[in-house]
A and B are shown apart, each in its own frame.
Chain A
Amino acid sequence: MTQTSKLNSLWEYANPKKFLSTTERFLPGLWIVTALCLAVGLIWGFFFTGDDYKQGSTVKIIYLHVPAALMAINAWLMMLVTSLIWVVRRHHVSALAARAAAPVGAVFTLIALVTGAIWGQPMWGTWWEWDPRLTSFLILFLFYLGYIALWEAIEDPDTAADLTSVLCLVGSVFAILSRYAVNFWNQGLHQGASVFRAGAVTGTDTAEKVSNIYFYPLLICMIGFVLLFVALVFYRTGTEIRARRIKALQARERMSA
């Protein structure tokens, strides 16, 4: 029994009430830490690191671009996990969390695309290039749009949750497939992974790695974006739960009237 009680502990938060009370306890602190991380990371990054010898001050857009791109992908990954949980265990909080995360992920994708364009204009000489990474992000954005639109289009909440989670599962496969298909389709202009890399940490291939001067504020920005995402999703999930509860109360009132 003691064994299972430890295992069950995660699923306790599938109870909307428990979820709400817990997140409400965490949220104020989470907001503060998020704001602190973003403020420290961005101010440090923008004002206290030198300009790059080649890119000038445009290098500093990395503090928005990389964390946003990171969260754009991870938001979809989180939606995939919560969709799977909904399909398997049918916890409403899980489906609502996926719904809450979608617009946030879409906005992060848009931020990554826009900041990339702003950086690309002076650096590559073009706002947009049909580079595999850029293209697959655009496709990811389209998948977000489709997912959000499907949620909005269906009235019955359980049907919507079911359909969108299947769309999320199938869409993930196609998104990954597109990612590698566009690799095949066009050569890249975008630099490869240069923040976290094997060998980069030990300093064996420093040439391709983001310099340490930029790395630490970037790391703080990344943490800030992760926390921002978590806070937003908690907050929005809470809103969704309350909206659902209001609907239930109204329906009950109509029934008794």
Chain B
Amino acid sequence: MIALLTRDLRLALRAGGGFGLGLAFFLILTVLVPFSVGPQSALLAVIAPGVLWLGALLACLLSLDRLLALDWEDGTLDLLATAPLPLESVVTIKALAHWLTTGLPLVLVAPVLGILLNLPTPGYVWLVVSLLVGTPALSVIGTFGAALTVGLKRGGLLLSLLVLPMYVPTLIFGAEVARRGAEGMATSTPLLLLAGITAAVIALLPFASAAVLRVNLR
């Protein structure tokens, strides 16, 4: 399992373009927002938590089609499926690797981008906390979507159509934590619900992803 994780991480770091792409996308999206809504800092402060959450979510989505497709093309997935490691844990490790290479950097960069959007000071902690709690759910749900569409030639757009509706609850609670935090309100209710979604998704969805992957590898 560790070997698979380090392999995935190394591939993501060294095979050009995969790793920094999500971050660059997040940055560009954040820069584009003031261009589209205007540079008034009061307005930006209001929408900053939501925009940052949406940006992180889309950056996560962007890298999903590479998650399994590359391994599918060169046959690695077939080998992994016949390996003694159960496919459920393969999928979980894949999601973890995706989170480490995409989700975690997004979490770390988010406060910096918060400055660009004039995020109110109490919001920084809650933005980071909510992203830290919420992005694993995005990776796991995304892995399910990637497993569904892995055999398709033009799966990219379909992947977004399938995954984005499933991101709705995570986005609602995550952005709510960040918004309430920025306004100095109590955040524990949405944070607990967000954590609940993440925990449930990590516990249950790998089984669905593995089942779907088995169908696709048939």
Is the beta-carbon distance between B208 and A145 smaller than 8 angstroms? no
User: Footprint of B on A, CB under 8 Å?
Assistant: 139, 142-143, 145-146, 149-150, 153-154, 159, 162-163, 166-167, 169-171, 174-175, 177-178, 181-182, 184-185
- Which of A149, A170, A175 is packed against the most chain B CB atoms within 10 Å? A170
| Contact among A149, A150, A159, A184 for B193, CB-based, below 8 A | A184
B17 adjacent to chain A (CB < 8 Å): no
A-side contacts of B152, CB under 8 Å: 153-154
B-side contacts of A184, CB under 8 Å: 172-173, 176, 190, 193
Tell me if A's interface is mostly helix, strand, loop or mixed.
Answer: helix
* Bound Cα distance from A184 to B193, whole angstroms: 10
B42 adjacent to chain A (CB < 8 Å): no
Tell me if B's interface is mostly helix, strand, loop or mixed.
Answer: helix
Given the known interface contacts A159-B215, A182-B172, the answer about A167 and B151 at a Cβ–Cβ threshold of 8 Å is no
Given the known interface contacts A163-B212, A184-B190, the answer about A149 and B172 at a Cβ–Cβ threshold of 8 Å is no
Given the known interface contacts A177-B197, A184-B190, A185-B176, the answer about A149 and B158 at a Cβ–Cβ threshold of 8 Å is yes
B-side contacts of A167, CB under 8 Å: 148, 162
For the complex formed, measure the closest distance between the CB of A133 and the CB atoms of chain B, giving whole angstroms.
15
Given the known interface contacts A159-B216, A162-B215, the answer about A177 and B169 at a Cβ–Cβ threshold of 8 Å is yes
| Contact among B154, B165, B176, B208 for A139, CB-based, below 8 A | B165
The 6 closest A-B pairs by CB, nearest first: A181-B169, A162-B215, A142-B165, A174-B166, A181-B172, A177-B169
A185 to chain B: closest residue by CB: B172
Is the beta-carbon distance between B211 and A174 smaller than 8 angstroms? no
B43 adjacent to chain A (CB < 8 Å): no
Is the beta-carbon distance between A149 and B165 smaller than 8 angstroms? no
Is the beta-carbon distance between B168 and A139 smaller than 8 angstroms? yes
Is the beta-carbon distance between B165 and A171 smaller than 8 angstroms? yes
* Bound Cα distance from A170 to B207, whole angstroms: 11
B-side contacts of A170, CB under 8 Å: 144, 166, 205, 208
Which residues of B, 170-205, contact A by the 8 Å Cβ criterion?
A: 172-173, 176, 190, 193, 197, 205
A-B contact pairs, 12 of them (CB 8 A): A143-B165, A153-B149, A153-B152, A153-B154, A153-B155, A166-B215, A170-B166, A171-B165, A174-B169, A181-B172, A182-B168, A185-B176
* Bound Cα distance from A241 to B68, whole angstroms: 33
For the complex formed, measure the closest distance between the CB of A168 and the CB atoms of chain B, giving whole angstroms.
11
* Bound Cα distance from A175 to B168, whole angstroms: 9
Is the beta-carbon distance between B148 and A174 smaller than 8 angstroms? no
A177 to chain B: closest residue by CB: B169
Is the beta-carbon distance between A169 and B162 smaller than 8 angstroms? no
For the complex formed, measure the closest distance between the CB of A143 and the CB atoms of chain B, giving whole angstroms.
5
Is the beta-carbon distance between A166 and B208 smaller than 8 angstroms? yes
- Apart from the given pairs A149-B162, A163-B215, A182-B168, 13 other A-B contacts in the complex at a CB distance below 8 Å: A142-B165, A143-B165, A153-B149, A153-B155, A154-B152, A163-B212, A167-B162, A169-B208, A170-B144, A174-B165, A174-B169, A184-B173, A185-B176
B161 adjacent to chain A (CB < 8 Å): yes
| Contact among B154, B164, B168, B216 for A163, CB-based, below 8 A | B216
Is the beta-carbon distance between A159 and B218 smaller than 8 angstroms? yes
